[in-house]
């Protein structure tokens, strides 16, 4: 039996349309399934696969609710950012996404864990956390444009934090604009923060943005959006598997868009934690 988890906000707009079409496809294919939206099952013992209709936040919620998931997972994007799913999709055509999510090749995908909370796509500390704190206050927009407007606002007001960073034998104390630990290449609905990041290589792409002036922030925002920033003088890039970040003051962070606040973040990669179905090489259905 297939467990179908639907974005809790799927009662509105495009999300509702996607779910209606997917339900028609499931019924047409005579697949045995149960759908869940607000209430989740106690466990996944009765299911052979998962289909998630939602965005990064929906995936994050389910991973943290169930923890260890051993059955295959597929995603059809129906959130505001969909950064994780965009790395899996064969196209923007719903029929192709449906086939990929249910019948695509199995891939082991890494996950991160920070202070006991799981994330899939990535986490950002400092500026990125401040953006996550502000995002819910903007009610009149969604997706990438909403993220971009908040970013521009925070460019003028955010001040660097002194952070102590320890990772894989390195130690650094400095004023830091942002630290991003990427499992996937995108964030914020399309910013290519870590253009070479891979979700199955057993390590994070770690991007440290050092102190940067307001004029530099404005000048290089489009460069970062396109993923052309690696190598700039205020960017440090490395790979990491286990990271500790501390500060004397409270830091804001986002994990797959979900806000976390702490003075200490202990982060590590969990290689091959989950099995996802995606890609154009289709195999037998998980049905």
Q: How far apart are CA 171 and CA 258, in angstroms?
A: 27
CATH number at residue 240: 2.60.200.40
The number of folded domains in the chain is 2
If you ran DSSP here, which 8-state letter would residue 6 be given?
Answer: E
Q: How far apart are CA 204 and CA 265, in angstroms?
A: 15
Smallest CA-to-CA distance from 163 within 256, 236, 269 is with 236
Co-location of 166 and 235 in the same domain: yes
Structural domain contains residue 283: no
Q: How far apart are CA 71 and CA 154, in angstroms?
A: 41
Q: How far apart are CA 255 and CA 248, in angstroms?
A: 21
Sign of the CA dihedral running 259, 111, 59, 186: positive
DSSP, residue by residue, 253-281: EEETTEEEEEEEEEEEEEEEEEEEEESSS
φ, ψ of residue 54 to 5 degrees: the values are: 175, -170
Co-location of 165 and 49 in the same domain: no
Co-location of 139 and 211 in the same domain: yes
Q: Which residues span the domain enclosing 58?
A: 2-111+273-278
pLDDT of residue 282: 40
Strand partners, 243: 167, 267
Structural domain contains residue 22: yes
Co-location of 76 and 152 in the same domain: no
Smallest CA-to-CA distance from 49 within 88, 103, 91, 119 is with 103
Co-location of 103 and 204 in the same domain: no
Structural domain contains residue 285: no
pLDDT of residue 287: 31
Co-location of 103 and 122 in the same domain: no
Co-location of 160 and 265 in the same domain: yes
Mind listing the pLDDT tens digit of every residue in the chain (287 residues)?
Answer: 999 999 876 555 567 788 889 999 999 888 899 999 878 999 999 999 999 998 888 999 999 999 999 999 999 988 777 888 877 776 778 898 999 999 999 999 999 999 999 999 999 999 999 998 988 787 776 666 778 888 899 999 999 999 999 998 899 999 999 999 999 998 877 789 999 999 999 999 999 999 999 999 999 988 988 999 999 999 999 999 999 999 999 999 999 989 999 999 999 999 999 999 987 544 433 33
DSSP, residue by residue, 71-99: S-EEEEE-SS--HHHHTT-S-S-HHHHHH
Co-location of 16 and 133 in the same domain: no
Tokens of 101: 């999510």
Co-location of 99 and 84 in the same domain: yes
CATH number at residue 12: 3.40.50.10330
Q: Number of C-alpha atoms within 13 angstroms, CB side, residue 128?
A: 25
Where b means 16+ CB within 10 Å and e means fewer, 86-115 reads bbbbbeeeeeebbbbbbbbeebebbbbbbe
Structural domain contains residue 284: no
Q: Three-class SS of residue 39?
A: coil
Q: Three-class SS of residue 172?
A: strand
pLDDT of residue 283: 40
pLDDT of residue 284: 38
Tokens of 234: 């205020």
Specify whether the CB–CB gap between 187 and 123 falls below 8 A: no
Q: Rg of the Cα trace of the chain?
A: 19
Q: How far apart are CA 166 and CA 246, in angstroms?
A: 9
Strand partners, 122: 182
């Amino acid at each position: 039996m297939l467990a179908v988890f639907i974005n809790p906000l799927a009662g509105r707009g495009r999300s509702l349309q996607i779910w209606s079409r997917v339900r028609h496809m499931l019924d047409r294919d005579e697949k045995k399934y149960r759908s869940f939206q607000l209430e989740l099952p106690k466990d996944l013992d009765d299911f052979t696969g998962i289909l998630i209709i939602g965005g990064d936040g929906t995936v994050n919620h389910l991973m943290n609710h169930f923890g260890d998931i051993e059955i295959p997972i597929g995603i059809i994007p129906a959130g505001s950012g969909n950064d994780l799913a965009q790395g899996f999709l064969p196209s923007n055509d719903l029929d192709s996404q449906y086939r990929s999510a249910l019948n695509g090749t199995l891939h082991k995908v890494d996950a991160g864990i920070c202070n006991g909370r799981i994330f899939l796509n990535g986490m950002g500390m400092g500026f990125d956390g401040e953006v996550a704190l502000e995002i819910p206050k903007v009610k009149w927009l969604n997706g990438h444009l909403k993220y971009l407007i908040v970013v521009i606002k925070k460019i003028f007001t955010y001040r660097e934090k002194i952070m102590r960073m320890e990772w894989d034998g390195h130690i650094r104390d400095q004023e830091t604009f942002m630290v991003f630990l990427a499992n996937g290449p995108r964030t914020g609905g399309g910013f290519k923060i870590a253009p070479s990041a891979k979700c199955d290589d057993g390590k994070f792409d770690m991007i440290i943005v050092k102190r940067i002036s307001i004029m530099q922030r404005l000048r290089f925002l489009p460069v970062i959006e396109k993923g052309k920033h690696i190598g700039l003088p205020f960017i440090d890039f490395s790979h990491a598997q286990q990271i500790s970040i501390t500060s004397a003051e409270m830091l804001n962070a986002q994990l797959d868009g979900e806000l976390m606040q702490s003075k200490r973040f202990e982060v590590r990669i969990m290689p091959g934690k989950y099995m996802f179905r995606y890609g154009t090489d289709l195999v037998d259905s998980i049905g």
